[in-house]
Amino acid sequence: MTKLKNCAIRNAVFLLPLVVFGAIAAPSQTRSTPNAQLASKELNARVDALLKKMTLEEKIGQTVQYSAGFATGPSASNLTYDELVAKGQVGSMLNVVGAERTNHYQHIAMEKSRLHIPILFGLDVIHGHRTIFPVPLAVAASWDPEAAETVARVAAEEARADGIAWVFSPMVDIARDPRWGRIIESNGEDPYLSSILARAWVKGYQRGDLSKPDSVAACVKHFAAYGAAIAGRDYNAVDMSELTLRQVYLKPYRAAVDAGVATVMTSFNSINGVPATANPFTLTQILRKEWRFDGFVVSDWGAVAELKNHAIGDGPTVARKALEAGTDMDMEGDLYGTVIAEQVRSGKIPESVVDEAVRRILRVKFALGLFDRPYANVGPAYTPTPQRREAARKVAGETMVLLKNDPVEGVGTLLPLTTKARKVALIGPMADDALDLLGAWTVAGNPKDVITLKSSLSERLGDKLLYAPGCGLLSGADENILKSVTFASAAKSDANEPVPDDNKTIEDAVETARKADVVILALGEPTNWMEGEAASRAHLGFTGNQEKLLEAVVATSKPVILVVLAGRPLQLKWASEHVPAILEAWSPGIEAGPAVADVLFGDVNPSGKLPSSFPRSVGQEPLYYAQTPTGRPAHGDLSRMPHDAAEKFVSRYMDEQNSALFPFGWGLSYTRFSYANPAVDRSEVPVREVADNHQPVTTVSVEVRNTGSVAGTEVVQLYLRNTEASVEQPLRELKGFTRITLAPGETKRVSFPLGFDELNFYSADLKKTVEPTTYDIWLGGSSLATAKTSLKIVE
């Protein structure tokens, strides 16, 4: 084990310890294991008894996972799965969906394998299984943990009915660059918001008891820091200090582990030169020793075999490094099952390392009750129930973010729409595109279940609705993208069809707009294969000729409402300058049409807030609100810069504002909210009191008033800045939020606790600490909050 210990030395930037007068680190505490089920003596006794009966080949078989269906990478094998299962040489399968298919393999495992160990079936269940909800980034825009829990709970029920006891969700990677396609699976850019939602997703999937017949084992991913891929390019390397890793990127994973998540998936990237799938520092030191994680770790698709591409060894070497680092299961890498046994027999790998990996996997299988209830009940074909459709519609309504709703001369604000308009034009390629409204990563979803925006508006407006598609999502100029889509998407039936003549369809759309009193433009990007994994973009505008369509319709001078239907933040600068009303509707899922229509017509007052900053230009990426300070901050007007040395030699772009077009936490309502009288209960608190008890030491509060004429829900947000820390801290950090609903004229005082959890930071020697300092505190409806107070931490 000496080699393993040596490998566990921190592989990040080394920082010299910094002694700060008055700083107090958090006291060490003995923590119980996060998941009591996996730690139970009875369960582990069953695991150990079974492990003693297993041959080396049977043990290794438990660490092997193969796909028998949909693939997200090159397939590893031309194997007969029936034979492997019968021999006990495969422990898990993915992409096997449906009770009949899973039962086929499970019967072989339970009836023909020597020890009758059940197969664990896993699947990418990302934002619903059969009932497809909005994508996770959209769910994060609700700022509602109950919404995330609802999505996970419904998905768990449906997945388990299909024989799936393990879902590869939630993804909690901090994502600060929308060029990275997998941002749509994340909770956005902020570690506090992502941590709250991570716990909610785990709670919804696992229900607090893995043995329940309608719960599944969740899998938090991708460990670690996958969202910080350099240049936003998927699978790329990650390079950051350990301080940033701990203070920002690891927090949501830790929250999921503390919530009892049963499994963890490694990431494809390297972290400071060490691939995550073979990284003992993250997988053993942090995950196992510091966080006391008792579940098992699975690689991402083929990640063990792909370690060869990282040039850290040949096949046997990388398999050994991954296993010893703490990757317990090899997903479609075809290495553990082929090269581990020989290395155990030769003494290169202690059999105890294999035993520990198998022990972790068996714990989860026993906890799920698979040994007692291995089979799924075969039922009727799935159809969305009214109750689940209603749940999907409610969640989708909460995710909508009203980015802009400026008054139009002689008309007033365009939203909410009224029935007074004689004619409403619905224009755009996303208006009636069921597949792309469904969103990316919908393995078991069916576009036939989607109600489109065109369908919903037709039902509401009848012959008042005019419709024109306007253009395609892609154009002839997008030849390379078209080839990619054609290769990737067998489900998209129009992928091989000729690209329409957009010039003609745009002309038709302009004529349609001229006949209407108001225009709804439904634009976005082809979400099904231009978002998610392997979907990085260098340009973040609308795809195809949609921008041309937008400008042509706006040129008619008709009032325009832009509905953006895309899973990731897009570049909307021109639209923000020329369109009076913009609604970010994301990828809404099967209830896309009804949910968007509810918001457009005011049946639902929008309450969503952005979980990710929207850029003015792609050149700003990665862009996020929690920037650290610089010695030369930019304060003045950009237009003065060429003539003012004080504005020239500061940290800014010469050709664009530094700020986001729409910042983190932003979102309007059909009413208005005011914030007044922020205050802390205690303006000064001794540093020792904060560090010692880990309980709130004071409370900060603010009065929130609905100053409009309709009821509305506001997300009240709390931001802090440590102004005198020994290590520079962000200009603002989210440290609390809550959703409140207020009637017109109603006022409510909203309070947040402040204690060690909110006030600590990582010191230069990588310890959580508090110091004598002053905290600036802001409360408001976005990261631009202006209601301000302060708290002083004293000796």
3-state DSSP call for residue 25?
strand
Q: What amino acid is encoded at 767 in this protein?
A: K
Instruction: For the beta carbon of residue 783, count every other beta carbon within 10 angstroms.
Output: 24
Burial of 684 (0-12, 13-18, 19+ CB in 10 A): exposed
- Residue 300 is a catalytic residue: yes
Distance between CA atoms of residues 774 and 768, nearest Å = 17
H/E segment holding residue 599? helix 592-600
Q: What is the dihedral of CA 273, 279, 281, 287, to 10 degrees?
A: 140
Instruction: For the beta carbon of residue 32, count every other beta carbon within 10 angstroms.
Output: 8
Distance between CA atoms of residues 592 and 683, nearest Å = 48
Point out the catalytic residue in the list 294, 300, 328, 436. Answer: 300
Distance between CA atoms of residues 435 and 129, nearest Å = 15
C-alpha distances in angstroms, 149 versus 299, 400, 586, 716, 736?
Answer: 25, 18, 19, 20, 19
Q: Which residue has the tokens 């996972």?
A: 65
Contact by Cβ (8 Å): 293, 326: no
Distance between CA atoms of residues 195 and 172, nearest Å = 8
Distance between CA atoms of residues 457 and 465, nearest Å = 7
H/E segment holding residue 159? helix 145-161
Q: In DSSP terms, which residues pair with 465 in a beta bridge?
A: 424
Contact by Cβ (8 Å): 222, 267: yes
Strand-by-strand arrangement of the 712-722 sheet: 684-686, 787-794, 773-780, 712-722, 733-742
Joined tokens for residue 601: 């017509």
Contact by Cβ (8 Å): 396, 73: no
User: Which positions are annotated as active-site residues?
Assistant: 300
